[in-house]
Amino acid sequence: MQAQFHSVTEFIHMGGYAFYVWLAYGVAYGALAILIGFCLTRKNRVLKEIAAKVKREERLAQHRSNRQ
């Protein structure tokens, strides 16, 4: 089996297409990072909303039981 590139410099240069290749990798990894960040932020927001709703329902249940 023969290597496509003879040195690390050739690999980084990508036969003259380095800008496009590394830009594509950068855009892809950047998009994935943004997506992961968005999902984690949204997950935390949903968990906080659920916790607030549970507390509100517990207060309502307690208030109803106190009235009887």
Q: pLDDT, tens digit, for every residue of 7-57?
A: 889 888 988 899 999 999 999 999 999 999 999 999 999 999 999 999 999
What element of type H or E holds 30? helix 18-67
What's the pLDDT at 68? 66
Structure tokens, 16? 């003259």
Query: Residue 1 — pLDDT band, cuts 50, 70, 90?
Result: low
The contacts of residue 6 (CB under 8 Å, 6+ apart) are none
Kindly report whether the global pTM for this prediction surpasses the value 0.85.
Answer: no
Give the model's pLDDT for residue 11: 86
The whole-angstrom separation of Cα 61 and Cα 21 is: 60
Produce one character per residue of 25-62: b if its CB has 16 or more CB atoms within 10 Å, e if not: eeeeeeeeeeeeeeeeeeeeeeeeeeeeeeeeeeeeee
